[in-house]
Structure 1
Amino acid sequence: MFRTRLAALGTALVTIASALTVSVAAAPAQASPNGNVLGYFAQWGVYARNYHVKNIKTSGSAAKLTHINYAFGNVVNGQCVLGDTYADYDKFYDAASSVDGVSDTWDTGALRGNFNQLRKLKKQFPNIKVIFSFGGWTWSGGFGQAAKNPTAFANSCYNLVNDSRWAGVFDGIDIDWEYPNACGLSCDTSGPDAFTKLGQALRSRFGSKLVTAAITADASAGGKIEKTNYGAASQYFNWFNVMTYDFFGGFSPQGPTAPHSPLTSYAGIPQQGFDSADAIAKLKARGVPANKLWLGVGFYGRGWTGVTQTAPGGSATGAAPGTYEAGIDDYKVLKTKCPANGTIAGTAYAKCGSQWWSYDTPSTISGKMSWARGQGLGGAFFWELSGDTTGGELITAVKNG
């Protein structure tokens, strides 16, 4: 139902060196001392993926996280609404599957589901802040209507996020609008200032609580970053999660093959401006402070089939088969199914048989984190928790970096 984000790469030394050749803002700000690490938890992961809040604890990820984005709530008729009430607050967890080893109850008014499990997780790991994310690739179509009455939208979101039934679970709200005044699954024409007005209304209603947003990383000439005034909007948001992944993939079935999350540009890249360094540079140049920009990492890969060329730039016949969706698969699957055997632009790629995949590894993530520190960015985030190994290889690389 959802595209996996909805809706996350040379060696580390080559990564850092190549990053210096990209046009980025001069004199990087001091590195953030905060060590912010945010991971998305996908509510539908409790079904086919069999990934639950308890897995955040048992994988060791909870000890490494500072923030969790709960994805997603929907936007309908200009209002924030729940996306899956069963997974959100009704699914029963017995003692063995519960974070704290205590079974849910069927008592009237008792909270169950992901919300109750997140409440228990926060009790054990009080440093973690949980943010309710609304929208995503599939559910962004409602933001245009919301932007027509930002105050009403903000009020509806505040009331839902802080509903008395799950009071204390959420520390704020995240808006994943793909994309304001631009096209994603559908096209929006609300104007370059609609996102700013939405942010202003949310900040006014949520006060000192966290107000964040996932934003485009399209730094191409005339691209999505240019369609919205992110610099003006940034004053109302604690930070932006810059979605520096999904630049290329099997959604272009004939290729050319290219890494979906390049840190830098490279000779032969299919589209200039489709890389992390250029996105960060453009957002800085348009007035977004470095410490309000968080770098995105995908805990998954994107791939093609029908490929004969090992190096990037080859032709293909279609999207490679994936566990849940063609053209995409989790890191935990790909590291064994198609091990990385090459690197470019600060990310990894793999050619196995006729398939070609690109994805981040612990090594390339380490390089990306070094680069992010040098840029003075406020943190890093990833899509999403269930894509990692059971021992949390990738989140460990993010945290250590």
Structure 2
Amino acid sequence: MSTTTPLRTRFRTRAAAGLTALVVPLAAMVGLASPAQAATSATASYTKASDWGTGFEGKWTVKNTGTTTLSTWTVEWDFPAGTAVTSAWDADVTNSGNHWTAKNKSWGGNLAPGASVSFGFNGTGTGSPSGCKLNGGSCDGGSVPGDTPPTAPGTPSASTITDTSVKLSWTAATDDKGVKNYDVLRDGAKVATVTTPSYTDTGLSAGTDYSYSVQARDTADQTGPVSGARAVRTTGGGTDPGPGPGDQVKLGYFTEWGIYGRNYHVKNLDTSGSAAKITHINYSFGNVQGGKCTMGDSFAAIDKAYTADQSVDGKADTWDQPLRGNFNQLRKLKAKYPHIKVLWSFGGWTWSGGFTEAVKNPAAFADSCYKLVEDPRWADVFDGIDLDWEYPNACGLSCDTSGPAAFKNMMQAMRGKFGTNNLVTAAITADASAGGKIDATDYAGAAAYSDWYNVMTYDFFGAWAAKGPTAPHSPLTSYAGIPQAGFNSAEAIAKLKAQGVPAKKLLLGIGFYGRGWTGVTQKEPGGTATGAAAGTYESGIEDYKVLKTKCPANGTVAGTAYAHCGTDWWSYDTPATIGSKMSWAKGQGLGGAFFWEFSGDTANGELVTAINNGLK
């Protein structure tokens, strides 16, 4: 597929560019009447809401944590040379050199106990604020000058689990001036504050999954890092409506940036009925930079606040909960559908260029990925890692010359770090042409360390060849007149098997979208065109949910559908062709199927239903 530009990352630059949130804890809780009372009255915390390279958006939040009304506030901080505020809103911001001062607007200073207010600004430079003061005292958020925050408590253990309760206990945290108490977090939200390292949570629902972690607070009210997460399932209750763990893999990609223009959220997996019919979700994509796994769009992943109507469980996010965004919604989805496992996928078409540097030190790369995926704030959300390198020792958006062993070395290091209790998978090429991308890499050797491969059996042909010939982008088999030998699913699977990859470690790929041309007069494949057909987000590409009515299928070739309407020519899979492909996959002894991606399906998930029914 050397000429293709997969849909898998086409929308990244539109939806996710520059959305990088960074919460920066600043100095300790202070009082407003005098510095001596500073530990109990108010907090000020800073967040970098987004960063677009040449500038950024910052946000301060002031909260009244005292028992009397706050009538006015002033936040002061220092920026390093080269970092500055260029415009601000909801506060009056001035500076003297690198020292910045923000005062409340006339309408924003009066805060009742427990109330908060935020103001924001655009800035230039790369620095972070320091030396924060709130009404003359230090700001809360994680550190008091000269005072070390407490350590993380141990991961909670669970005992005496009933239909409605669970007893938790954990190893105590330490602090240079003493631990005051612990916040107990259930599914990321605080449910109790206790003074001893144990707590019994009650009022739970039978047969329900929960995730618990704890956080220590010292005598200055500083909070330390959150502990590891402990998953707990209460006894009793009904059964999970989804597929059992012994079923074939039915995996879908959830795109991080789909929450923007596409308005597709984790909740849609539930309301469409898809969550009950899949076994795995690949959350895409994390980036690969500087030899490490890094977060892609942190605002979408961990910071976006969901309202009650947008949330999986109908509960709104709060401003101060430890984890929000897609990760928290996935946590809620897993609580409702415990059979689902979630993997964090790294790379993709746009971000595969970083693998070349990363695989120079596979062990260090694997260590960085493990630390990110298993971060205590969201470790319970993920069940493993997926590596989407397009393509090892071959060319995609950029070319790699790491050698045929690089991919194997990477997967071996990942397995060594993530162990046998986590999934380690990869998306791989389906280019079965002679001397093509499958031939460039030791996929058989790497299979020993992989749970499975997502074979990208789509995007074989498309309107990057503007004048055609028209051809189905996801042919199951070859056919007379196919533009390129070896560009079909059957030959890709056959070549991987012949090289020694076990059939059960191969998943057949399905695209929930079509590729099309315009200026076409011929109904059958092989016609000439004048360019790419119009699409909602990009020329030459359209979701199945749109095409099924916009340009209904009126022919099939090589196991997939095509449609000629007006002068447009599209190819895409339908429930009927997916059913046939699933039968073929079972006949080949494959491990199951996967698809790119959820938002292309109809509101009632008819393509997911076809995969599920076809693999039963």
Match of 2:515 in 1: 302
Structure-2 separation of matches of 1:198 and 1:33: 28
Structure-1 separation of matches of 2:495 and 2:379: 38
What 5-or-longer segments of structure 2 have no aligned partner? 11-244
Shift of 1:165: 1.3
Shift of 1:390: 0.1
State the one-letter code of the partner of 1:298: G
Structure-1 separation of matches of 2:305 and 2:487: 43
Q: 2:291 aligns with which of 73, 78, 85?
A: 78
Match of 1:238 in 2: 451
**Is the 1:240–1:292 Cα contact (8 Å) retained in structure 2?**
yes
Q: 2:438 aligns with which of 225, 231, 238?
A: 225
Structure-2 separation of matches of 1:196 and 1:76: 20
Match of 1:23 in 2: none
Match of 2:536 in 1: 323
**Is the 1:3–1:138 Cα contact (8 Å) retained in structure 2?**
no
SS at match of 2:416: helix
Match of 2:482 in 1: 269
Shift of 1:36: 1.6
Q: 1:136 aligns with which of 324, 344, 348?
A: 348
- Structure 1 residues 197 and 327 mapped into 2: Cα distance closer, same or farther (>3 Å)? same
SS at match of 1:164: coil
Shift of 1:152: 0.6
SS at match of 2:7: coil
Answer yes or no: is 1:5 the counterpart of 2:8.
yes
Structure-1 separation of matches of 2:495 and 2:391: 17
Answer yes or no: is 1:164 the counterpart of 2:383.
no
- Runs ≥4 in structure 1, deviation > 6 angstroms? none
Answer yes or no: is 1:194 the counterpart of 2:197.
no
Q: 1:255 aligns with which of 450, 468, 474?
A: 468
Task: Report the identity percentage.
Answer: 72
Instruction: Indicate the structure whose relative CO is greater, using CA pairs within 8 Å and at least 6 residues apart.
Output: 1
Shift of 1:251: 1.2
Shift of 1:33: 6.3
Q: TM-score, normalised by structure 1?
A: 0.92
Q: 2:361 aligns with which of 138, 141, 149?
A: 149
Shift of 1:313: 0.3
Q: TM-score, normalised by structure 2?
A: 0.60
Shift of 1:35: 2.4
Answer yes or no: is 1:66 the counterpart of 2:279.
yes
**Is the 1:34–1:378 Cα contact (8 Å) retained in structure 2?**
no
Matches for 1:7-86 after TM superposition, within 5 Å: 34-86=247-299
Structure-2 separation of matches of 1:288 and 1:34: 20
Structure-1 separation of matches of 2:612 and 2:371: 33
Match of 1:363 in 2: 576
State the one-letter code of the partner of 2:352: S
RMSD: 1.1
1:374-397 deviations in whole A, cap 9, x for unaligned?
000001000000000000010000
Structure-1 separation of matches of 2:379 and 2:410: 24
Structure-2 separation of matches of 1:282 and 1:221: 10
Aligned length: 375
Q: 1:207 aligns with which of 381, 405, 419?
A: 419
SS at match of 2:286: strand
1:65-87 deviations in whole A, cap 9, x for unaligned?
10000000000011000010000
**Is the 2:6–2:459 Cα contact (8 Å) retained in structure 1?**
no
Structure-2 separation of matches of 1:68 and 1:251: 29
**Is the 1:35–1:399 Cα contact (8 Å) retained in structure 2?**
no
Match of 1:173 in 2: 385
The structure in which a higher percent of residues are strand is 2
